[in-house]
Amino acid sequence: MAERESLVDVVIVNWNGRAHLERCLAALTVQTWRDKAIWVVDNGSRDGSLAYVQAHYPQVRLLGNPENRGFAVANNQAIRAGRAPFVATLNNDCTPEPGWLAALIDALEREPAVGMAASKMLRCDQPGTIDSAGIALNRAGIFWDRLGGSPDSESSAAHEIFGPCAGAALYRRAMLNDVGSFDEDFFCYLEDVDLAWRAQLAGWRALYVPAARVRHVHSASLGDVSPLKSYLLGRNKLWTIVKNYPAPYLAERWPLIIAYDLMATAYALLAQGRWAALSGRLAAWRGLPQAWRRRRDIQRHRRISAAEADRWLEPIEAPWRIAARYAPLDGKRKP
């Protein structure tokens, strides 16, 4: 096996995001952590992104796709190409503070059983407001950004969570080798939830590292009201649940999961006119046999009990309380 070239591979997926990419790469050059390789995977951009990187950042390792192959595929391309013990995924619309990478690496080096770490992502247009502090989910299978919309006033102590948002995360390569990387069928959205769940089932832990701070332009690629985003969220949500939800709780709570998802679909259709949300659910049902086959493999390799896996699922709230959770994010992000 070839020796590693750096301690961490930093992977940025780009699709027509040159303006964001300029700020992101500039911030990476002033990171206090120097032992890193930076990868940019370009998904068929037509805005001069590739030429810009080649001209201004010759040290960056470029992988180019002729078309947009999605977030999951692009990240996996760089993960397979790299050899570093750690892999950091960073959205091109994120601007990390100088100590971001060092804080994440320090957290994982201290805890060998921790396979992933989440950053504190702050809203670029509201720098005193948290955009994401990792992933949270409840027993109805609804996922959201932890502390989204909360003020940036908490302590800087790291603590255990379910998993990181892949927009600014650090993964241990040994964990990725163990459970696999991002599910490429997802294209984008919720592939980080799926990966975190698979890792938890295999016994890997996750930490939230508040000292690892980035500023994030929310939904810069597709926007919050994109039909494609509604479609992918609706489809990938059901696939994630089917693949990972711990048995026997899945059989017990399936009617409730369906009921809440029907309410979310009805809200998207009637209140927002998002027919793509329904199309995504229908696509999920068509892909159910493949998701179930993958579930069998995931559950066969589970190293923790169903009760231990269930501890990360928060109690189900009333529908109006769930809707209120997204109000701090301008009312745009719905389950």
- CA–CA distance, 71 with 263 (Å, rounded to integer): 28
Higher local confidence (pLDDT), 328 or 113: 113
pLDDT tens column, 258-307: 999 999 898 888 867 788 999 999 999 999 999 999 999 999 999 999 99
- CA–CA distance, 202 with 189 (Å, rounded to integer): 22
pLDDT tens column, 3-56: 567 999 999 999 999 999 999 999 999 999 999 999 999 999 999 999 999 999
Q: Are 254 and 325 in contact (CB under 8 A)?
A: no
pLDDT of 291 reads 97
pLDDT tens column, 128-149: 999 999 999 999 999 999 999 9
Where along the chain do its domains lie? Answer: 8-216, 227-329
Residue 215: HSE in the Cβ half-sphere, 13 Å Cα cutoff: 13
Q: Which of 152-166, 197-211, 230-244 has the lowest mean pLDDT?
A: 152-166
pLDDT tens column, 236-264: 999 999 999 998 999 999 999 999 999 98
Mean pLDDT of 104-132: 95
| Residue 106: exposure state from Cβ atoms within 10 A (0-12, 13-18, ≥19) | middle
pLDDT of 272 reads 72
List, in sequence order, every beta strand (DSSP E) within the chain.
Answer: 8-14, 36-43, 61-65, 86-90, 94-96, 114-123, 126-132, 135-138, 143-145, 159-161, 168-172, 205-216, 313-314
pLDDT of 331 reads 37
CATH of domain 8-216: 3.90.550.10
pLDDT band at 333 (very low <50, low <70, confident <90, very high): very low
pLDDT band at 332 (very low <50, low <70, confident <90, very high): very low
- CA–CA distance, 113 with 272 (Å, rounded to integer): 43
Q: What is the pTM of this model?
A: 0.93
List, in sequence order, every beta strand (DSSP E) within 173-278.
Answer: 205-216
